[in-house]
Structure 1
């Protein structure tokens, strides 16, 4: 019996070692990815402030860029009523704010937290503009020194802003995320080496089929969109993309998502769709105020 055990050990040791190394790498990537995601979120939540605002108590929050127009904007709990500051055909939606409310915000807010309230109000302002005019949403917490700084921003970036406003006019953003289930731990207990390898090959084949189906979905959806943006994927995420879709093509786009989801769901993946949104993922204009 001892000899048989030694023989089995020699036969299976390389497989076990290779599998242990693969699992260790996967776990390391997952842990590191989670830490990186938290760091990125924390960085993204830091409000933009020019140097003059670092020691100031009040500033002007800039929510979005749009065309010069008359528009009804929502009342806010965290700031005075927002207004439009205009220059030569373009406008910045702004509100006077107390800068203290943008400090020490938690990266993972609960429903009634300060961050959740500020984020909802930011989105409400952007959506109010989006309902009537093309809009370039700005990063949450973009704050400048005052009206003159906002006007300088519009003056310096007017042509660039008008180009992007023309591009997103008549469009909305849709998000599609495809996730694969977390695979159960594979135990070799009671399995022969051949059975274990067959099981692993079956799981690998399923993963490959899911990845191909997700890529096929993305290829077909982006052909129905004016632009597409893929976000960095987290573990077990096969696709995380935003699509800039013409509003007169939304029904066809949604139907395509439903149809393309079916083979993925048969393979065990889950498809999440969000939208329509203002074009948050497609505002590529640099709006930092140079002072």
Structure 2
């Protein structure tokens, strides 16, 4: 009997292994899908940190602070959710602010609906930052940054003046570009009809393609970083080989974009997809932040 069992094991082990791998992959897809949904929700609310109840106690009105820039005349857009934006200046720098009802910044939830309160506030925040960006270097502040009044904004400008000037000089003449590389979905080996040798050959081919895609994405990042003053990689998500932002001098943008096109070709031949976004204000490269002040 033991010889018969051994023979059956040799004959059917490859098919059993293939079926086990198929089931494992199906389970992995389910788990990763749940993780991806959680990650997308977390990313949607990441830029927003609402003031605490204690910080907003007995305060109905305040100033939303959108960005820091140089003291300059800038045409700013009208907003639905706030008063007309204005610049509060101090010794060569300024904070772009607007009077707001602070209640609208409480109880916001991540909501993918285009006309949700969160989406509307976020779009207006970006519109103000972009308006400044068209004329002067800009330090975008975290969405939802509020202070309780003009004096608090002036105090913060005094405290952060040197830091702000350093960052403004650093990002002047630069724009942010994003590059994301998504790997191709690998076809599963059929559970039936393959011998053990054929299955292993299929797996080796898939693994080789994965390695080649990863190597090409790493090469792309290294080459693109040479055209940028600074580069930042974001946390990888499932099926993403590269998700990076580049702070590119405007004089280098043509060579940067040419390099993206050239370096995309080997990745696309391997089945990957390259997405380029920009130009943006330097959202990923300014680390100055104003805190809520009483």
TM-score after normalising by structure 1 = 0.91
Superposed displacement of residue 266, structure 1? 0.7
Q: Does 1:181 align with 2:184?
A: yes
Aligned twin of 1:255: 258
How far apart in 1 are the matches of 2:159 and 2:54?
Answer: 19
Paired residue secondary structure (2:190): coil
Range moving further from structure 2, 176-185 or 91-100: 176-185
Offset from partner CA, 1:143-167 (integer Å, 9 cap, x none):
1111111111101111000000000
How far apart in 2 are the matches of 1:67 and 1:131?
Answer: 13
Aligned twin of 1:39: 42
Confirm or deny: 8 A CA contact 2:247 2:285 kept in the other structure.
Answer: yes
Aligned twin of 1:53: 56
Aligned twin of 1:94: 97
Offset from partner CA, 1:237-285 (integer Å, 9 cap, x none):
0000000000111111111111111111111111100111000000112
Range moving further from structure 2, 279-288 or 58-67: 279-288
Confirm or deny: 8 A CA contact 1:67 1:90 kept in the other structure.
Answer: yes
Confirm or deny: 8 A CA contact 1:50 1:145 kept in the other structure.
Answer: no
Cα pair distance change 1:247/1:48, threshold 3 Å: farther
How far apart in 1 are the matches of 2:64 and 2:283?
Answer: 17
Aligned twin of 1:280: 283
Superposed displacement of residue 220, structure 1? 0.3
Q: Does 1:145 align with 2:148?
A: yes
Superposed displacement of residue 140, structure 1? 0.9
Confirm or deny: 8 A CA contact 1:153 1:289 kept in the other structure.
Answer: no
Cα pair distance change 1:42/1:153, threshold 3 Å: same
Offset from partner CA, 1:220-241 (integer Å, 9 cap, x none):
0001000001000100000000
Confirm or deny: 8 A CA contact 1:225 1:245 kept in the other structure.
Answer: yes
Paired residue secondary structure (1:44): coil
How far apart in 2 are the matches of 1:54 and 1:207?
Answer: 54
Superposed displacement of residue 120, structure 1? 1.4
Cα pair distance change 1:63/1:97, threshold 3 Å: same
Match of 1:192 among 191, 195, 198: 195
Confirm or deny: 8 A CA contact 2:65 2:147 kept in the other structure.
Answer: yes
TM-score after normalising by structure 2 = 0.90
Confirm or deny: 8 A CA contact 1:49 1:144 kept in the other structure.
Answer: no
Superposed displacement of residue 45, structure 1? 2.7
Aligned twin of 2:216: 213
